[in-house]
Amino acid sequence: MNDIDVAELQRRLAAFAAERDWGQYHTPKNLAAALSVEASELLEIFQWLTPEQSAAVMEDPETAHRVADEVADVFAYLLQFCQVLGIDPTAALAAKVERNEKRFPLPEAPEPEDRHSSE
């Protein structure tokens, strides 16, 4: 993931939409709806699977392609949503991870040197 620049992808998505005059449709509300719809299309692949079957979806090439394709759609709408509202998704997630590390502290906090051995 290091080789491809997320910000560059965001710029390509924005140019792609602008060239096709899709900006009029890309209100934050519509993009949030589209993001939600795409996330459901990803879920649809898993809806009747057992937990074990769900862990093996990448073994079938056709299903693997479908999963990756839905991931791309979700990611695309997430980046476009962030673009139109000026949100940096990576910074938002970094902030959240830091809040969560405080909000859900480790159940039993071992001594720093013990921590390693308990993992």
The pair of three-digit structure tokens given for residue 103, joined into one six-digit string: 């909000």
Closer by beta carbon to a second copy, 48 or else 112: 48
Does residue number 11 form part of the binding site for a second copy (CB under 8 A)?
no
Among 60, 62, 66, 76, binds a second copy (CB under 8 A): 76
Tokens 């898993």 belong to residue = 46
Q: Tell me the chain's radius of gyration from C-alpha atoms.
A: 19
Rounded distance between C-alpha atoms, residue 67 and residue 1, angstroms: 17
Among 4, 102, 113, 116, binds a second copy (CB under 8 A): 4
Cβ neighbours of 78 (radius 10 Å) = 19
CB of 63 to a second copy, least distance (A): 11
Rounded distance between C-alpha atoms, residue 117 and residue 119, angstroms: 6
Does residue number 112 form part of the binding site for a second copy (CB under 8 A)?
no
Does residue number 14 form part of the binding site for a second copy (CB under 8 A)?
no
Q: Which amino acid is at 28?
A: P
Q: Judged by CB under 8 A, how many residues of this single chain contact a second copy? A: 79
CB of 8 to a second copy, least distance (A): 9
Among 47, 61, 116, 117, binds a second copy (CB under 8 A): 47
Does residue number 91 form part of the binding site for a second copy (CB under 8 A)?
yes
Q: Where are the alpha helices (DSSP H) in 51-106?
A: 51-55, 61-85, 89-103
